[in-house]
Structure 1
Amino acid sequence: MKRERKFRYERMSVNMSLERVKRYFKQLGIDNRILEFDVSSATVELAARALACEECRIAKTLSFHAGEKIVLIVTAGDARIDNAKYKAQFGTKAKMLAPEEAEPLTGHAVGGVCPFAVNDKAEVYLDVSLQRFQAVFPACGSSNSAIELTPAELKEYSNSLGWIDVCKVYHA
């Protein structure tokens, strides 16, 4: 019974996160661009499969503690955080949020963490690894959603604080 109740709560929570993003995008006039899938898109691999695209074009959102701040970094699907670059950018070692911290601190649960409609204290940054693409696919608050955006649109709609370079060299 407890497990069933927990699953129901997580499902309701994820639906609320997706609805939050939909409301945000509706204000911008782009809510009709959200893609929802019958399958999971919770990982880069699953999202690429659901979208029938290369994994590198998935815009994954990674969430970190950076001192007292919560930092969301959107990177290309094939990019990996470079600890030295991260420390140079934020002045601290890269420490990802624990799965149970993601939703309360960012506004979105693991598998649907995205740079849209985030909690006020979360800062969004975009990694330059995304700039090599004409369009990328970030999640929209749930583990079965995405939206296709140009890097310029991603910057605009995510209200990011800018482009940074905190990833290891990716395979172009």
Structure 2
Amino acid sequence: MGIERARRALAAAGLEDRVMEFDTSSATVELAAEAVGCEPARIAKTLSFAVGDRVALVVCAGDARIDNPRFKAEFRTKAKMLGRDEAEERIGHGVGGVCPFGVEPGCDVYLDESLRRFDTVCPAAGNAASAVRLSCEELERACDGARWVDVCKGW
């Protein structure tokens, strides 16, 4: 279900031909990097947080971590990740395949500055055995309404 939602959203941006599907799991940064054939930092992981009654999806580089003070300053709340059991219902994609494409209403997408240092990045495409290779400009276009933030550290 998730990969079809992602495909439809990517098709609306003219990027459906970029979806890659794998015979093995790409559910973690390391597994995704191996499947795609890139360095782990280029994997654009999508982290999901409860922010009031909405979901904030923060897409960041594979080597980045949430900086709690920056997150709190940006979102005016403590960083609280969604539980595994909430992800699919609230986002439309299950854990391991969470991506910023084709998400449920009530999800807001934020692209972290940690991604901008790369010419291409590879987020998941809706399930735990998929990815899509995009430039940052294409990622922004595919995430209709996304906003850039600076809430990560360690990269």
The TM-score, its normalising length taken from structure 2, stands at 0.96
Q: Is 1:109 the counterpart of 2:94 in the alignment?
A: yes
Name the residue aligned to 2:54. 69
User: For 1:165 and 1:65, how far apart are their aligned partners in 2?
Assistant: 18
Q: Which has the higher contact order (CA 8 A, sep 6+)?
A: 2
Counterpart AA for 2:24: V
Q: Which one has the bigger helix percentage?
A: 1
User: For 1:134 and 1:29, how far apart are their aligned partners in 2?
Assistant: 19
Count the aligned residue pairs: 155
1:85, 1:165 within 8 Å by CA — same for their partners in 2?
yes
Name the residue aligned to 2:43. 58
Structure 2 residue matching 1:59: 3-state secondary structure = strand
Name the residue aligned to 2:125. 140
Structure 2, gaps ≥5 residues long: none
The higher radius of gyration belongs to 1
The TM-score, its normalising length taken from structure 1, stands at 0.87
User: For 2:39 and 2:151, how far apart are their aligned partners in 1?
Assistant: 22
Identity of aligned residues (%): 54
Q: Which residue of 47, 69, 81 maps to 1:84?
A: 69
User: For 1:106 and 1:46, how far apart are their aligned partners in 2?
Assistant: 22
1:56, 1:76 within 8 Å by CA — same for their partners in 2?
yes
Name the residue aligned to 2:110. 125
Q: Deviations over 1:55-96 (max 9, x none)?
A: 000000000001222100000000000000000000000000
2:13, 2:141 within 8 Å by CA — same for their partners in 1?
no
Counterpart AA for 1:29: G
Structure 1, gaps ≥5 residues long: 1-15
Q: Is 1:157 the counterpart of 2:142 in the alignment?
A: yes
User: For 1:87 and 1:164, how far apart are their aligned partners in 2?
Assistant: 12
User: For 1:27 and 1:152, how far apart are their aligned partners in 2?
Assistant: 15
Structure 1 runs of 4+ aligned residues shifted over 3 Å read none
Q: CA RMSD in A?
A: 1.0
* Cα drift, residue 26 of structure 1: 2.7
User: For 2:132 and 2:17, how far apart are their aligned partners in 1?
Assistant: 10
* Cα drift, residue 160 of structure 1: 3.9
Change (3 A) 1:160 1:77: farther
